Amino acid sequence: MTTVTGRLLALGRAEAALLLRNRTALFTALLMPPLMLAALRPILDQQRATSPGLDLHAALVGGLAGIVLLFVVYYTLTAAYVGRRSELVLKRLRTGEARDGEILLGTAVPAVVLAVLQLAVLGAASTALLDLPAPVNPVLLLAGLVLALALLIPLAALSSAFTRTVESAGLTTLPVLLVAQFGSGVLFPLETMPDGLATVCRLLPTTPALRLIRIGWFGGDGSVPATGFLGTWSAAAPALLLAAAWALVAVWAAHRWFRWEPRR
Amino acid sequence: MTDSSRPAVEAVGLHRRYGPADGAGFDAVRGLDLTVHRGELFALLGTNGAGKTSTMELLEGLAAPTAGGIRVLGHDPYRERAAVRPRIGIMLQESGFPGELTVAEAVRCWVGLTSRARPADEALDLVGLLDRRTVRVKQLSGGERRRLDLAVALLGRPELLFLDEPSTGLDPEARAAVWQLVRELRAQGTTVLLTTHYLEEAEELADRLLIMHRGRAVVSGTVAEVIAGRPSRISFELPERSGPYGDLTLPPLPAAEVTATGRRVTVRTTRLQETLTDLLGWAARHQVALGALDARSASLEEAFLAIAAEAAGAAPLPIGDPR
């Protein structure tokens, strides 16, 4: 009998071979984060000039995590789902023993592994180069990462439902990418925004999970004063609940609208 | 739970509707009953749009019927798919493997998704694709893709095999090889349910068959039962009606129905030998050469076309009439 793990690995292995052979996807997944990072630094420098209280390093790390997750997981995966659907691969897979959720999750394995590896390398590199403190609450950091994945994977499935071809994925992923980059503290830290706007932005789907990553590492995210391990739990509680709620909504929406075969 | 004396597939009152329940929807399957016994090869035939693939998808558990009940190997194939899937093999009408994977990689992925899977190379060898294992899927011919699809369907040594138009797109040699493979599987006890456009495929392979038209079963049974009572056919061309043949008339042919289009004559008869004797005796006496003479017993193809035409409410099609 096959196991869930075995099925996920079989799907992930095939998908990894495909990712390695797809230059566009590989370029996006490998080079986009460093490029965006290079662009991010001067933006944040400029913002610090106007908001002196900004913790530059924390904003940088938070933005970095957001960029990696958005491009490597969300964007890559949207294109992958569209590609597999148009080749009737998803339809064929549904005739086998893998359940629907496993097919989608198995396809996501290489993108998730790649994102986690990039985050680890970039995290370690920035710790060394920027002399960052050790994460205050690693559990919260990890929870933020898991919830971000739990949001972005179904969101990619959902976006693929509105995408006809792999080429048009660049367009259909734009709304989520733009909202997340501008509204979830990736390019513009929320603490530099006017209070009303920042409050609205904290409610956006992609914001709470990214906030958890920042609070987990630095003990605060500019809106809540930095605390220690225990303090971070109460500071992060609303974001934790909201992130979980958005992930559930995304899973529901993906389930409702996902398409397993191309339109005829 | 998995009583082996029960049929492999039982479907009762199957309905499948696409779209809304009002007039805007479309009923692809309208009250179909179907039973496939263990170890038999059952063919589902029908014109394009008859509902064959829609029916197959219900039996395979890819979709739930709008109404009706299905048991596949004793289980509901849609709700209890975890119990059914490890025991069946499915080949869809169109294959779906990533073009950038090699044949071996595509099969290896499926090995990881299949209980008690054969080794990848063994499955490829079965369908004659072993020497193509390092080729990318996108470089395979249409026929090779069909065979790859078949290899994947056979990976788990299924008790029950669903083949949706398995030989479409194959050249005659590959088709003969697939037929041989299907016969061997059946000999080993595999139950096979296949759909096909090729009536000679059903005639060659099927123990029993069912002909669908517009979502309903029109006729079912063994090939002999379906053909029984269908007329045989004789066709030929008469010479120009001039000179010695100016007032040529055919002899009376009892139990036969004669239709003529120009010089071309088609005779349908339930007593082929007698009619042919009468006709050839007459031709010899009058020294008439019957051009392009063809006589054949009722075939499944003939029965199928007649049944489809009757079901459509039209007169039987003039079979074999070239114009």
Q: What is the pLDDT of residues A160-211, one digit of tens each?
A: 999 999 999 999 999 999 999 999 988 888 888 888 999 999 999 999 999 9
pLDDT band with cut points at 50, 70 and 90 for residue A59:
confident
Chain B, nearest residue to A88 by Cα: B96
Q: Domain extents for chain A?
A: 4-257
* CB burial readout A10-40, b (16+ within 10 A) else e: bbbbbbebbbeebeebeebbeebbeebbeeb
Interface of B with A in 145-164 (CB under 8 A): 149, 152
Write the pLDDT tens digit of every residue in B118-138.
999 999 999 999 999 999 999
Q: What is the pLDDT of residue B315?
A: 44
**pLDDT 10s digits, A112-124:** 999 999 999 888 8
CB pairs under 8 A between A and B: 81
Q: Name the H helices within chain A.
A: 4-21, 23-50, 56-68, 76-86, 89-93, 100-130, 138-161, 169-172, 174-183, 195-202, 207-218, 229-257
pLDDT digits (tens, 9 = 90+) for B34-62: 999 999 999 999 888 889 999 999 999 99
pLDDT of residue A29: 80
CB B32 within 8 A of CB B82: no
Q: Considering only A197-201, A222-226, B169-173, which range has the smallest mean pLDDT?
A: A222-226
C-beta atoms of B114 and A14 within 8 A: no
What letter represents residue A11's amino acid? L
| Residue B167 scores a pLDDT above 70 | yes
Kindly state the average pLDDT of the residues A217-233: 80
Count, residues in chain A: 264
Class of the CATH domain delimited by B9-221: alpha beta
| The predicted structure's pLDDT at residue B97 | 96
The residue with greater pLDDT, B132 or B223, is B132
pLDDT at position B257 is: 84
- Does the structure show a pLDDT above 90 at B91? yes
> Cα(B51)–Cα(B212) distance, rounded to whole angstroms?
7
pLDDT at B320: 36
Strongest mean pLDDT among A144-153, B19-28, B188-197, B255-264: A144-153
Per-residue pLDDT, B313: 63
Whole-angstrom Cα distance, residue A177 to residue B36?
Answer: 52
pLDDT tens sequence across B304-320 = 877 777 766 644 444 33
Q: What is the pTM of this model?
A: 0.87
Q: Are A224 and A212 in contact (CB under 8 A)?
A: no
Q: Which residue has the tokens 């490029």?
A: A35
CA atoms within 13 A of residue B166's CA, in its CB half-sphere: 33
Closest chain A residue to B81 measured between Cα atoms?
A97
With CB atoms and an 8 Å threshold, state whether B111 touches A87.
no
Interface contact B108, partner A, CB < 8 A:
yes
Cα–Cα dist B185/A10, whole Å: 27
Residues 17-56 of A with CB under 8 A from B: 17-18, 21-22
B112-146 b/e (C-beta count within 10 Å ≥ 16 → b): bbbeebbebeebbebbbbbebbeebbeebeebbbb
CA B46/CA B304 separation, integer angstroms: 8
Confidence of residue B322 (pLDDT cuts 50, 70, 90): very low
The pLDDT confidence band at residue B323, using thresholds 50, 70 and 90, is: very low
Q: What CA–CA distance (Å, rounded) separates B283 from B250?
A: 9
Q: Could you report the predicted ipTM of this complex, rounded to two decimals?
A: 0.90
Higher pLDDT, A75 or A223: A75
| Residue A14, min C-alpha distance to chain B (Å) | 6
Q: Do A92 and B96 touch (CB under 8 A)?
A: yes
Q: Which of B78, B113, B145 to mutate to test the interface with A (most CBs of A within 10 A)?
A: B113
Task: Give the residue extent of every domain in chain B.
Answer: 9-221, 232-311
The CA-CA-CA angle for residues B84, A107, A38, to 5°, reads: 170
Sequence-distant (≥ 6) Cβ neighbours of residue A123 within 8 angstroms: A61
Whether B97 and A9 lie within 8 Å, measured CB to CB? no
Chain B nearest CA to A86, separation (Å): 9
pLDDT tier, B264 (very low <50, low <70, confident <90, very high otherwise): confident
For residues B34 and B11, is the Cβ–Cβ distance under 8 A?
A: yes
Report CB contact under 8 Å: A96, B110.
yes
DSSP state of B187: H
A94-103, B8-17, B247-256 — which is least confidently predicted?
A: B247-256
CA angle B154–B156–B157, rounded 5-degree value:
65
Tell me: pLDDT of A20 over 50: yes
Which of chain B's residues have a Cβ under 8 Å away from the Cβ of A83?
98
- Percent of chain A past pLDDT 90, that is, above it, reads 62
Q: What pLDDT sits at residue B312?
A: 67
CA distance A108 to chain B (A): 15
State the DSSP code for B240.
Answer: P
Residues A251/A252/A255/A257 CA torsion (nearest 10 deg): -110
Residue B43 CA: distances (Å) to CA of A34, B29, B70, B128, B162 = 58, 17, 18, 24, 10
* Residue B130 contacts residue B151 (beta carbons within 8 Å): no
